[in-house]
Chain A
C-alpha cells in the first residue's frame, strides 16, 4: 500500500545567519506559521529541489512534517518544535526574536 503523504514544509538554515528558515510561496520566512504547506508529494519534491538550488541563501534544505492547526502549520516532532522556537535553557532565538 503506498504511504499516504503527510503535509510538509521546506525548511533549512540561513546561510549568513545560520538560523532556521521556511520556504513560503514567494521566498523564505523565519516563521513556521508563514511557511508554504505542501500536501502533494510531487510538488513537495519539486519545491525542495528549487530550495536546494539556492546555494547562496540556504544550507541543508529538507522536508519537515507538520500538522495543520486551523490551517496553520505547527511542528509534529519536538526537534522541529525547538527549531521553530529556540533553545529551552535561555530565552534566545526565535522565541524572542520573532516577538
Chain B
C-alpha cells in the first residue's frame, strides 16, 4: 500500500502548524471571519447549520486498519462517536469545536491523512473505482495514476486559484464504478495494441447544470497523461468563466465552446506542455505502482464457504448481494453496507469503524475502501473466511444484505446538517429503506439506485440515480422533485424530470408507485429497472404518479 514520503510528512506537519497558528489568531480575535474562512476551507473546515464540519480526504478511497482506527478515535473523541462517509470518498465529522480542529489534524497526520484540498478552487481529492486492484473485470489498477495525479496537483502553483473546483476520477475497468462521466475530467484506462493509455473525458458534472462528460481523446498514450491534463487545465484556466461562479466549471466551458474547439485548443497547448515533461512522471508512476502491488493471495480450501452457503439462508442472502467477483482465485470483494434499514446512509460509529478495521486486518490483507456509494469495502477476502467475517459483521449491525438494492441509497447530509440545503435528504432515505424493508420486497425488485440531494448542488448524485430525488424549498415547505432513468455507469445519463414535486409525506408513496409500475411493466425478474425504463420511457411512470392530470386531459 502507498505510504507518504518524508516530503509529504514534512509538508503536512508544516501545514498543520500553520493552521494551528491561524486558529489561535482567529480565536483571539486577530483574524476576522472574512480573513479566516478561506484558510479554514483550505484545511477542510466548514461551518454548517449546527456546528463546524471537518472533511477528511481518503485518497482514491483507500485506507488501512490503522487509519480506520484513527478515524474511529477522532469520531469518539471530538465528534459524537461517529463519522459520515460521503460520495466523494471522504469522511466528514459533523461536530468538532474550532479549538480542537488542529489536534484532529495532528491526529490524522499520525496516519498520513489530512483535509487538504477537500475544499476550495483546487484540484480535489482524486477519486477512483472502489474495487481498484481487486475487480475481476479490471484492466489495470487505477490508484497509482490517481496517486500520481495527487502528487502532481497538490500545491501545484498554477492550480491553487483556478476559476472553480476541479474533480478528477479514474477507472481501470470498462464497467465504470467511479462515475467518470460526471467529473471535470474522467479517465478510463485502456489497452490498445499492447500499449497502455487512457480515454480522456472532459466537462462532466452534476450540480445546477448537469452535464455528461465528452470524450476529448479516445486514446491518450500513458506517457502523455500529465502534459495533456496540464494542457486541459491550462486552457480552462485561460478561457473559463471567472465572471460567474455558476458558469465557471469546465463543463460550461466545454458546453459554450464545443468539444471540438476545446480539443483543438488543448492539442495546441499540449505541444507546449509536453516539452516541459521529461519522462520523470512516467518513472514516478512506475515507482508508485510498486507501492500498490497486490497482496500475497493465498490458496486454501473453499469448503467452509460452500458449507455455510448451503446451510445458512441469512449468509446466502448476504453473499448473493454483497460480494463481487475478484481477480484472484478463491477471493471475493466484500461490500459492507452502511445502509442498515432506517439508519443514516454512510454513517459508521467508532465501534463499527474499529470492527471493520479489525476484520480488514484479520481477513482482508489490511485493506479497506470507501465507495462513492457510501459503503465500506474489504477488497481482498478469501471465501473460506466469509462465514466468520459475516458472523462478526452481524454483531454490530453491519451485515445488511442490500448492496445495489433499493435501500442502498446515496443521500447527502441535506438540511439536517448542511448550511446550503433547501430540504432534508437523510429522513427521506430512512423512510424509503424502512418502507421497502417492511414489505420484504427489495430482493424481488432487484438492482435499483436511489440517490437523494438536499439542494441543486447535487452532492447526492440525484441526476444519475435510476430514481433521483432532489429536495427543494417551495414557499417554505420541503418539496421533492423526482427524476427517472439516470445512469451513473459508462452509459451515463441524466435522469428525466417527471413533473411537479411531492411533499415530504407524499414522496415515499410516490416512490412506491414508481416501483409498482416497474414491477407491472418488467418482462421478467431479470429485466432491471433501468432496462425497463429505457424500453418504456417516462410515460407509464408519469401516468402512475399523476393520475389526476391524465383524467383532466381526457
Contacts and interface: CB of A to CB of B under 8 A. Distances in A.
Interface of A: 13, 15-20, 55-56, 59-60, 76-79, 82-83, 86-90, 92-94
Contact of A88 (B99, B427, B477): B427
Contact of A92 (B26, B95, B426): B95
Contacts of A56: 27-29
B177 interface: no
B415 A15 contact: no
B430 A89 contact: yes
Contacts of B97: 16-18
B476 A77 contact: yes
A14 B51 CA distance: 8
14 contacts: A15-B27, A16-B99, A18-B47, A18-B51, A18-B96, A19-B51, A20-B49, A56-B27, A56-B28, A59-B47, A79-B49, A79-B415, A79-B421, A89-B430
A86 B51 CA distance: 10
Contacts of B430: 89
A17 B424 CA distance: 23
Given A17-B97, A78-B476, A78-B478, 17 more contacts: A13-B47, A15-B27, A15-B98, A16-B97, A20-B50, A55-B29, A77-B476, A78-B477, A82-B49, A82-B415, A83-B50, A86-B50, A87-B416, A88-B416, A90-B80, A92-B50, A93-B51
A56 B26 CA distance: 7
Nearest to B478: A78
B251 to A, nearest CB: 29
B218 interface: no
Given A16-B98, A60-B47, A87 B417 contact: yes
Nearest to A87: B416
A20 B96 CA distance: 14
A76 B473 CA distance: 13
Contacts of A82: 49-50, 415-416
A21 to B, nearest CB: 11
A17 B51 CA distance: 7
Given A59-B47, A90-B80, A18 B476 contact: no
Nearest to A86: B50
Contacts of B52: 18
Interface in B79-103: 80, 95-99
A74 to B, nearest CB: 14
A58 B473 CA distance: 27
Interface string B102-130: 00000000000000000000000000000
Interface in B117-164: none
Interface in B1-54: 26-29, 32-33, 47-52
A60, A83, A87, A93 pick with most chain B CB within 10 angstroms: A87
B344 interface: yes
Q: Which 7 residue pairs are nearest across A and B when measured between Cβ atoms? A: A56-B29, A87-B416, A18-B52, A18-B51, A89-B426, A93-B50, A89-B344
A60 B33 contact: yes
Nearest to B96: A18
A89 B416 contact: yes
A90 B82 CA distance: 11
Given A56-B28, A78-B478, A90-B80, A18 B50 contact: yes
Given A16-B27, A16-B99, A56-B29, A83 B51 contact: no
Contacts of B477: 78
A24 to B, nearest CB: 20
